[in-house]
Amino acid sequence: MKLPRRRQFLHLASAAAALPFAAPFAKAQVYPSRPVHLVVGFPPGGPTDIAARPLGQWLSERLGQQFVIENRPGAGSNIGTEAVVRAPPDGHTLLLAYSANAINATLYHNLSFDFIRDVAPVASISRETTVMVVTPSFPAGTVPEFVAFAKANPSKINFASGGHGTPPHIIGELFKMMATVSLTHVPYRGGAPAVNDLLGGQVQVMFASPSISLQHVRAGRLRALAVTTATRSQALPDVPTVAEFLSGFEASVWLGIGAPRNTPAAIIDKLNKEINAGLADPGIRARFADLGSTVLPGSPSDFGKLIAEETEKWSKVIRAANLKAE
Protein backbone atom coordinates (compact mmCIF):
# COMPACT_ATOMS: atom_id res chain seq x y z
CA MET A 1 0.00 0.00 0.00
CA LYS A 2 2.88 2.32 0.71
CA LEU A 3 4.18 2.27 -2.86
CA PRO A 4 0.89 3.38 -4.47
CA ARG A 5 0.50 6.14 -1.86
CA ARG A 6 4.00 7.36 -2.58
CA ARG A 7 3.24 7.43 -6.30
CA GLN A 8 0.02 9.33 -5.64
CA PHE A 9 1.90 11.87 -3.53
CA LEU A 10 4.54 12.36 -6.23
CA HIS A 11 1.79 12.82 -8.82
CA LEU A 12 0.06 15.50 -6.74
CA ALA A 13 3.35 17.25 -5.96
CA SER A 14 4.26 17.30 -9.63
CA ALA A 15 0.88 18.83 -10.52
CA ALA A 16 1.24 21.48 -7.83
CA ALA A 17 4.73 22.38 -9.01
CA ALA A 18 3.40 22.97 -12.51
CA LEU A 19 0.71 25.41 -11.36
CA PRO A 20 2.89 28.58 -11.40
CA PHE A 21 3.73 27.84 -15.03
CA ALA A 22 0.19 26.90 -16.01
CA ALA A 23 -1.42 29.96 -14.44
CA PRO A 24 -0.08 32.56 -16.92
CA PHE A 25 -1.01 30.27 -19.80
CA ALA A 26 -4.54 29.80 -18.45
CA LYS A 27 -4.83 33.55 -17.88
CA ALA A 28 -3.88 34.24 -21.50
CA GLN A 29 -6.34 31.61 -22.72
CA VAL A 30 -9.30 33.51 -21.24
CA TYR A 31 -7.98 36.95 -22.17
CA PRO A 32 -9.66 39.40 -22.19
CA SER A 33 -11.79 38.70 -19.14
CA ARG A 34 -13.16 42.24 -18.82
CA PRO A 35 -13.24 45.49 -20.88
CA VAL A 36 -9.88 46.64 -22.22
CA HIS A 37 -8.87 50.30 -22.03
CA LEU A 38 -6.99 51.59 -25.06
CA VAL A 39 -5.34 54.82 -23.91
CA VAL A 40 -4.91 57.60 -26.47
CA GLY A 41 -2.63 60.41 -25.34
CA PHE A 42 -4.47 63.11 -27.30
CA PRO A 43 -7.96 64.66 -27.24
CA PRO A 44 -10.99 63.15 -29.00
CA GLY A 45 -11.39 64.01 -32.68
CA GLY A 46 -7.68 64.20 -33.50
CA PRO A 47 -5.82 61.92 -35.95
CA THR A 48 -4.77 59.40 -33.29
CA ASP A 49 -8.27 59.19 -31.81
CA ILE A 50 -9.83 58.81 -35.26
CA ALA A 51 -7.46 55.94 -36.08
CA ALA A 52 -7.99 54.16 -32.76
CA ARG A 53 -11.76 53.77 -33.04
CA PRO A 54 -12.17 51.39 -36.01
CA LEU A 55 -9.47 49.13 -34.61
CA GLY A 56 -11.04 49.21 -31.14
CA GLN A 57 -14.37 48.21 -32.65
CA TRP A 58 -12.73 45.36 -34.57
CA LEU A 59 -11.04 44.00 -31.43
CA SER A 60 -14.27 44.29 -29.45
CA GLU A 61 -16.07 42.13 -31.99
CA ARG A 62 -13.26 39.58 -32.34
CA LEU A 63 -12.39 39.15 -28.67
CA GLY A 64 -15.82 39.45 -27.07
CA GLN A 65 -15.00 42.30 -24.69
CA GLN A 66 -15.38 46.02 -25.18
CA PHE A 67 -12.23 47.94 -26.11
CA VAL A 68 -12.82 51.36 -24.56
CA ILE A 69 -11.01 54.33 -26.13
CA GLU A 70 -9.74 56.37 -23.18
CA ASN A 71 -8.40 59.83 -24.07
CA ARG A 72 -5.72 61.05 -21.66
CA PRO A 73 -4.19 64.13 -23.30
CA GLY A 74 -1.34 66.17 -21.96
CA ALA A 75 2.44 66.71 -22.17
CA GLY A 76 2.69 65.50 -25.75
CA SER A 77 1.07 62.12 -24.88
CA ASN A 78 3.34 61.51 -21.86
CA ILE A 79 0.45 61.55 -19.37
CA GLY A 80 -1.38 58.77 -21.19
CA THR A 81 1.83 56.80 -21.72
CA GLU A 82 2.73 56.94 -18.03
CA ALA A 83 -0.75 55.69 -17.10
CA VAL A 84 -0.17 52.61 -19.24
CA VAL A 85 3.36 52.08 -17.93
CA ARG A 86 1.98 52.03 -14.34
CA ALA A 87 -0.95 49.73 -15.18
CA PRO A 88 -0.96 46.00 -14.31
CA PRO A 89 0.69 43.97 -17.10
CA ASP A 90 -2.39 41.87 -17.81
CA GLY A 91 -3.36 43.18 -21.26
CA HIS A 92 -6.39 45.11 -20.02
CA THR A 93 -4.70 48.50 -20.37
CA LEU A 94 -3.06 49.22 -23.73
CA LEU A 95 -1.47 52.26 -25.34
CA LEU A 96 -2.06 53.70 -28.77
CA ALA A 97 1.63 54.27 -29.41
CA TYR A 98 2.49 57.15 -31.70
CA SER A 99 5.48 58.82 -33.32
CA ALA A 100 5.38 61.35 -30.48
CA ASN A 101 6.60 58.61 -28.12
CA ALA A 102 9.82 58.24 -30.12
CA ILE A 103 10.26 62.03 -30.20
CA ASN A 104 9.57 62.53 -26.49
CA ALA A 105 12.33 60.13 -25.50
CA THR A 106 14.84 62.85 -26.44
CA LEU A 107 12.71 65.99 -26.17
CA TYR A 108 11.86 65.46 -22.48
CA HIS A 109 14.69 65.02 -19.99
CA ASN A 110 12.67 64.28 -16.85
CA LEU A 111 10.36 61.47 -17.87
CA SER A 112 9.57 58.95 -15.15
CA PHE A 113 9.65 56.12 -17.68
CA ASP A 114 11.74 54.84 -20.57
CA PHE A 115 9.44 54.17 -23.50
CA ILE A 116 11.57 51.46 -25.12
CA ARG A 117 12.18 49.71 -21.79
CA ASP A 118 8.76 50.10 -20.18
CA VAL A 119 6.35 49.59 -23.08
CA ALA A 120 6.18 46.21 -24.80
CA PRO A 121 5.52 46.48 -28.55
CA VAL A 122 2.38 44.58 -29.54
CA ALA A 123 1.68 45.51 -33.15
CA SER A 124 2.19 48.32 -35.62
CA ILE A 125 -1.00 49.68 -37.17
CA SER A 126 -0.28 52.24 -39.84
CA ARG A 127 2.15 54.68 -41.31
CA GLU A 128 1.09 57.92 -42.92
CA THR A 129 2.63 60.83 -44.67
CA THR A 130 2.26 64.44 -43.71
CA VAL A 131 1.34 66.96 -46.37
CA MET A 132 3.26 70.18 -46.86
CA VAL A 133 0.40 72.62 -47.42
CA VAL A 134 0.27 76.37 -48.02
CA THR A 135 -2.50 78.87 -48.59
CA PRO A 136 -3.53 79.31 -52.25
CA SER A 137 -2.27 82.90 -52.19
CA PHE A 138 1.25 81.89 -51.13
CA PRO A 139 3.75 82.90 -53.84
CA ALA A 140 5.15 79.40 -54.41
CA GLY A 141 3.62 76.44 -56.18
CA THR A 142 6.44 73.93 -55.78
CA VAL A 143 8.99 72.96 -53.15
CA PRO A 144 11.89 74.60 -55.05
CA GLU A 145 9.89 77.82 -55.35
CA PHE A 146 9.09 77.64 -51.63
CA VAL A 147 12.74 77.17 -50.72
CA ALA A 148 13.79 80.07 -52.96
CA PHE A 149 11.16 82.34 -51.40
CA ALA A 150 12.15 81.28 -47.88
CA LYS A 151 15.83 81.99 -48.53
CA ALA A 152 14.93 85.43 -49.91
CA ASN A 153 12.74 86.10 -46.85
CA PRO A 154 14.49 84.49 -43.86
CA SER A 155 12.33 83.98 -40.73
CA LYS A 156 9.36 85.72 -42.38
CA ILE A 157 7.43 82.53 -43.11
CA ASN A 158 5.43 81.14 -40.18
CA PHE A 159 4.99 77.38 -40.08
CA ALA A 160 2.23 75.96 -37.89
CA SER A 161 2.00 72.72 -35.94
CA GLY A 162 -0.34 71.11 -33.45
CA GLY A 163 2.12 71.81 -30.66
CA HIS A 164 5.77 72.05 -29.67
CA GLY A 165 7.46 68.69 -30.15
CA THR A 166 4.62 67.10 -32.11
CA PRO A 167 5.56 65.09 -35.22
CA PRO A 168 4.50 67.89 -37.63
CA HIS A 169 6.76 70.30 -35.72
CA ILE A 170 9.77 67.95 -35.80
CA ILE A 171 9.16 67.14 -39.47
CA GLY A 172 9.22 70.89 -40.14
CA GLU A 173 12.53 71.13 -38.30
CA LEU A 174 13.95 68.35 -40.48
CA PHE A 175 12.80 70.26 -43.57
CA LYS A 176 14.46 73.46 -42.31
CA MET A 177 17.74 71.60 -41.78
CA MET A 178 17.79 69.81 -45.13
CA ALA A 179 16.58 72.81 -47.16
CA THR A 180 18.78 75.21 -45.13
CA VAL A 181 15.97 77.71 -44.65
CA SER A 182 14.81 79.72 -41.66
CA LEU A 183 11.12 79.41 -40.77
CA THR A 184 9.35 80.63 -37.64
CA HIS A 185 7.52 77.90 -35.75
CA VAL A 186 4.05 78.76 -34.40
CA PRO A 187 2.69 75.99 -32.12
CA TYR A 188 -1.03 75.52 -31.52
CA ARG A 189 -3.03 73.42 -29.08
CA GLY A 190 -3.85 70.77 -31.65
CA GLY A 191 -3.81 70.29 -35.41
CA ALA A 192 -7.34 71.55 -36.03
CA PRO A 193 -6.78 75.11 -34.73
CA ALA A 194 -3.47 75.22 -36.60
CA VAL A 195 -5.22 74.37 -39.87
CA ASN A 196 -7.90 76.97 -39.13
CA ASP A 197 -5.28 79.70 -38.85
CA LEU A 198 -3.55 78.42 -41.98
CA LEU A 199 -6.87 78.74 -43.82
CA GLY A 200 -7.21 82.24 -42.41
CA GLY A 201 -3.73 83.26 -43.56
CA GLN A 202 -2.28 83.90 -40.09
CA VAL A 203 0.41 81.29 -40.86
CA GLN A 204 1.74 80.30 -44.26
CA VAL A 205 2.75 76.62 -44.22
CA MET A 206 2.12 73.44 -42.28
CA PHE A 207 3.20 69.81 -42.39
CA ALA A 208 -0.27 68.50 -41.71
CA SER A 209 -1.88 65.14 -41.15
CA PRO A 210 -3.96 64.04 -44.15
CA SER A 211 -6.94 63.45 -41.86
CA ILE A 212 -7.22 67.20 -41.21
CA SER A 213 -5.88 68.59 -44.49
CA LEU A 214 -7.06 66.42 -47.40
CA GLN A 215 -10.59 67.83 -47.46
CA HIS A 216 -9.19 71.37 -47.75
CA VAL A 217 -6.72 70.37 -50.47
CA ARG A 218 -9.45 68.69 -52.51
CA ALA A 219 -11.72 71.72 -52.09
CA GLY A 220 -8.96 74.11 -53.21
CA ARG A 221 -8.76 75.88 -49.87
CA LEU A 222 -5.15 74.71 -49.39
CA ARG A 223 -2.40 73.88 -51.89
CA ALA A 224 -0.35 70.71 -51.39
CA LEU A 225 3.28 71.22 -52.36
CA ALA A 226 4.55 67.77 -51.41
CA VAL A 227 4.14 64.73 -49.20
CA THR A 228 6.89 63.77 -46.76
CA THR A 229 7.10 60.00 -47.24
CA ALA A 230 9.70 58.46 -49.54
CA THR A 231 6.99 57.47 -52.04
CA ARG A 232 3.89 59.31 -53.22
CA SER A 233 0.64 58.94 -51.32
CA GLN A 234 -2.26 56.99 -52.82
CA ALA A 235 -4.54 59.70 -51.42
CA LEU A 236 -2.66 62.39 -53.40
CA PRO A 237 -1.05 60.56 -56.33
CA ASP A 238 -0.32 63.73 -58.32
CA VAL A 239 1.49 65.45 -55.45
CA PRO A 240 5.29 64.94 -55.48
CA THR A 241 7.38 63.88 -52.51
CA VAL A 242 9.75 66.29 -50.77
CA ALA A 243 12.50 63.79 -51.62
CA GLU A 244 12.02 64.50 -55.33
CA PHE A 245 13.57 67.89 -54.59
CA LEU A 246 15.55 67.23 -51.37
CA SER A 247 17.33 63.91 -51.83
CA GLY A 248 17.06 61.60 -48.85
CA PHE A 249 14.19 63.40 -47.16
CA GLU A 250 11.76 60.98 -45.50
CA ALA A 251 9.36 61.56 -42.66
CA SER A 252 6.21 59.76 -41.66
CA VAL A 253 3.92 59.30 -38.70
CA TRP A 254 3.24 55.82 -37.35
CA LEU A 255 0.73 54.27 -35.00
CA GLY A 256 0.77 51.01 -33.09
CA ILE A 257 -0.30 49.26 -29.91
CA GLY A 258 1.86 48.90 -26.82
CA ALA A 259 1.36 47.22 -23.45
CA PRO A 260 3.02 47.50 -20.04
CA ARG A 261 6.29 45.58 -19.94
CA ASN A 262 6.06 42.05 -18.52
CA THR A 263 2.69 41.54 -20.20
CA PRO A 264 2.57 37.77 -20.93
CA ALA A 265 3.83 36.85 -24.38
CA ALA A 266 0.69 34.78 -25.02
CA ILE A 267 -1.48 37.90 -24.58
CA ILE A 268 0.77 39.98 -26.84
CA ASP A 269 0.74 37.28 -29.50
CA LYS A 270 -3.05 36.99 -29.32
CA LEU A 271 -3.48 40.74 -29.74
CA ASN A 272 -0.93 40.84 -32.54
CA LYS A 273 -2.77 38.11 -34.42
CA GLU A 274 -6.15 39.85 -34.14
CA ILE A 275 -4.75 43.29 -35.03
CA ASN A 276 -3.06 41.91 -38.14
CA ALA A 277 -6.33 40.23 -39.08
CA GLY A 278 -8.05 43.60 -38.75
CA LEU A 279 -5.44 45.29 -40.93
CA ALA A 280 -6.16 42.69 -43.63
CA ASP A 281 -9.89 43.48 -43.55
CA PRO A 282 -10.91 45.47 -46.66
CA GLY A 283 -13.17 47.79 -44.66
CA ILE A 284 -10.45 48.78 -42.20
CA ARG A 285 -7.85 49.10 -44.96
CA ALA A 286 -10.21 51.43 -46.84
CA ARG A 287 -10.84 53.46 -43.70
CA PHE A 288 -7.12 54.03 -43.18
CA ALA A 289 -6.65 54.82 -46.87
CA ASP A 290 -9.31 57.52 -46.53
CA LEU A 291 -7.19 59.01 -43.74
CA GLY A 292 -4.12 59.01 -45.99
CA SER A 293 -2.54 56.09 -44.13
CA THR A 294 -1.09 52.77 -45.19
CA VAL A 295 -1.70 49.81 -42.90
CA LEU A 296 1.47 48.33 -41.42
CA PRO A 297 1.03 44.71 -40.30
CA GLY A 298 3.91 42.90 -38.64
CA SER A 299 5.21 41.07 -35.60
CA PRO A 300 5.86 42.58 -32.16
CA SER A 301 9.61 42.49 -32.92
CA ASP A 302 9.03 44.33 -36.21
CA PHE A 303 7.24 47.08 -34.30
CA GLY A 304 10.00 47.19 -31.68
CA LYS A 305 12.59 47.66 -34.42
CA LEU A 306 10.58 50.52 -35.93
CA ILE A 307 10.32 52.27 -32.55
CA ALA A 308 14.08 51.98 -31.97
CA GLU A 309 14.91 53.31 -35.44
CA GLU A 310 12.52 56.23 -35.17
CA THR A 311 13.76 57.14 -31.68
CA GLU A 312 17.32 57.31 -32.98
CA LYS A 313 16.36 59.25 -36.11
CA TRP A 314 14.42 61.99 -34.33
CA SER A 315 16.95 62.28 -31.52
CA LYS A 316 19.46 63.53 -34.09
CA VAL A 317 17.03 66.17 -35.39
CA ILE A 318 16.06 67.34 -31.91
CA ARG A 319 19.68 67.68 -30.81
CA ALA A 320 20.73 69.42 -34.02
CA ALA A 321 17.87 71.92 -33.68
CA ASN A 322 18.59 72.28 -29.93
CA LEU A 323 14.93 71.69 -29.07
CA LYS A 324 13.70 71.26 -25.50
CA ALA A 325 10.30 70.54 -24.03
CA GLU A 326 8.30 73.64 -23.16
Spatial distance between the Cα atoms of 98 and 165, rounded to a whole number of angstroms: 13
3-state secondary structure of 236: coil
3-state secondary structure of 66: coil
Predicted model pTM: 0.85
pLDDT of residue 121: 98
Separation of CA 79 from chain center: 15
Decide if 293 contacts 285 (C-beta within 8 A). no
CATH 3.40.190.150 residue ranges for the chain:
34-128+253-320
Q: How many CB atoms lie within 10 A of CB 149?
A: 16
pLDDT of residue 211: 84
Candidates 129, 126, 152; CA nearest to 284 is: 126
The hierarchical CATH code for the domain 34-128+253-320 is: 3.40.190.150
CB contact set of 135 (below 8 Å; sequence gap of 6+):
198, 199, 201, 204, 222, 223
What is the CATH T-level fold of the domain 131-244, as seen in this structure? D-Maltodextrin-Binding Protein; domain 2 (3.40.190)
pLDDT of residue 29: 60
Summarised one tens digit per residue, pLDDT across range 127-154 is 999 999 999 999 999 999 999 999 999 9
CATH 3.40.190.10 residue ranges for the chain:
131-244
Q: Which DSSP string corresponds to 134-145?
A: E-TTSS-SSHHH
Mean pLDDT of the chain: 91
Q: Which residues of the chain have pLDDT under 70?
A: 1-29
Q: Are strands 158-161 and 184-187 parallel, antiparallel or unpaired?
A: parallel
The residues facing 241 across adjacent strands are 227
Spatial distance between the Cα atoms of 249 and 263, rounded to a whole number of angstroms: 37
